[in-house]
Structure 1
Amino acid sequence: MALILKTTRFIETQIDAFLDILSDSATTFELAMEDYLNNRIEQFETRLAQIRENEHRADDLRVSIERFLYERTLIPENRGDVLAILENTDEVIDNIKDSLVQFSIEMPKIPECLNDLWMQTTKASSNAVEQLSFAVRSFFRDLAAVNNYIHKVYFFEREADHIGERLRREIFNLDIELSQKSQLRFFAIHIEKISDYAQVVCDRLSIYAIKRQL
């Protein structure tokens, strides 16, 4: 991390903690969906509470890091890139939370026959976020490894899209009311979009990585 930051152990620890929250949120998101599909609603709500707490902690860390960078550490042209990475990454956590909140509000009834494809889509999105955490960490510690992790994010984003399409086709093949089909499609797309948010961060991260190599 010292390659880019004129920094102290404090700021390294803060950024590592921020990325740990991102990784934890991806895992908790996956576990929450598994709980929901298995009708463990109380446990699902506990996972949602954990995600809410993660969001607050990530916001606090991001603000602390940003203030520290502005006041003490980074040369201006690099500082903007780092702040953008943190803000974009924080939005991924926000979107994970928003997705689970919608489940908690609407409580969609998901037919058991969809569980396998639903979890496959969830895991692909969760894996995309996990690989994003590695990509961002590498940006600070091992720039040569960034593209490898970005490639993995793109892979899992394509997987989420592919499996998500199968899931939506299966939804509309079911003998249920159109209103339920529409609701289930809405939630399936929410799951897919988690990987899309991770990809958007990587699109920008790849540009910042190129800038650092010039």
Structure 2
Amino acid sequence: MEFKILKHKLDIEKQIDDFLDLVSESGLLFKNGINDYLKGNMAAFDEKMSHIVDAEHKGDSLRRSIEERLYVKTLIPEARGDVLDLLENMDVLLDRFKGALFTFDIERPIIFPEIHSDFCELVNYVVEAVEAMVRSCRAFFKNISAVADHMHKVSYWETESDKVSTRLQRTIFRRDNLHLCEKIQLRDFIRRVDKIADRAEDASDKLNIFAIKRSL
């Protein structure tokens, strides 16, 4: 049987949908921005940077508006804390995408062509993990019984990203033509990207608890 947290509160449901759209969009901007960076297309990379900054600002504004309405209108008091925690966790994912892209812009790491394919694979798995988390959130608000249909995919993609991350780090540290500082820089970038999937899984674990509580 379908159970909705927000029931007939369509206006705030629309705001939450818009917020989750921005989280999803930030993942696509991140993925495309990294592809542009690897191709050396810095003009396109800068454009993705600008768009992801806009997405973050809109996301912050929407999240604050949703929080205010939940308190001022005293909506869903029995689930308010869980909803606010969930939105904050999703906002962190958006911020992580932006932060990782900014770090690329600041440090401009040299990613040698031999690992381009694996690096793109890592980015893709991380974005898939976040997208699965977005779908889980939508289900939480629209049909809580469907949350599990998407949540297990978060863990799957997080595991896949861990595998590629480990493989990339092994490849880097076994190269003789890189200085140690270069290896460490690349390792840190790989870990920074991989950590986004870790955060998505952490959010998924919390969402699982929220869903169980609401289903009782």
Same fold (TM over 0.5): yes
SS at match of 1:50: helix
Work out the CA distance in 1 between the residues paired with 2:121 and 2:76: 43
Deviation at 1:41, TM superposition (A): 1.2
Deviation at 1:6, TM superposition (A): 5.8
SS at match of 1:147: helix
Report % sequence identity.
41
Does 178-187 or 140-149 show the bigger shift?
140-149
SS at match of 2:4: coil
Amino acid at match of 1:15: I
Alpha carbons 1:135, 1:147 under 8 Å: kept: yes
Q: Which of 193, 196, 205 lines up with 1:194 in the alignment?
A: 196
Alpha carbons 1:122, 1:191 under 8 Å: kept: yes
Aligned to 1:19: 20
Aligned to 1:176: 178
Q: 1:128-179: per-residue Cα shift (whole Å, max 9, x none)?
A: 0111110000001111211121100000000000111001111112221111
Deviation at 1:45, TM superposition (A): 1.3
Residue 89 (str. 1) matches residue 96 (str. 2): no
Q: Which of 165, 187, 191 lines up with 1:185 in the alignment?
A: 187
Aligned residues: 214
Q: 1:71-97: per-residue Cα shift (whole Å, max 9, x none)?
A: 114232211111111111101101111
Q: Report the TM-score, using the length of structure 2 for normalisation.
A: 0.95
Residue 150 (str. 1) matches residue 151 (str. 2): yes
Q: Which of 203, 206, 209 lines up with 2:208 in the alignment?
A: 206
Give unmatched runs, 5+ long, in structure 2: none
Alpha carbons 2:136, 2:151 under 8 Å: kept: yes
Superposed structure 1 runs of 4+ greater than 6 Å apart: none
Deviation at 1:7, TM superposition (A): 5.1
SS at match of 1:83: helix
Deviation at 1:184, TM superposition (A): 0.5
Q: Report the TM-score, using the length of structure 1 for normalisation.
A: 0.96
Aligned to 1:106: 107
Alpha carbons 1:114, 1:167 under 8 Å: kept: yes
Alpha carbons 2:4, 2:140 under 8 Å: kept: no
Amino acid at match of 1:38: K
Alpha carbons 2:69, 2:75 under 8 Å: kept: no
Deviation at 1:48, TM superposition (A): 1.1
Alpha carbons 1:30, 1:123 under 8 Å: kept: yes
Work out the CA distance in 1 between the residues paired with 2:8 and 2:73: 8
Alpha carbons 1:156, 1:195 under 8 Å: kept: yes
Work out the CA distance in 2 between the residues paired with 1:62 and 1:68: 10
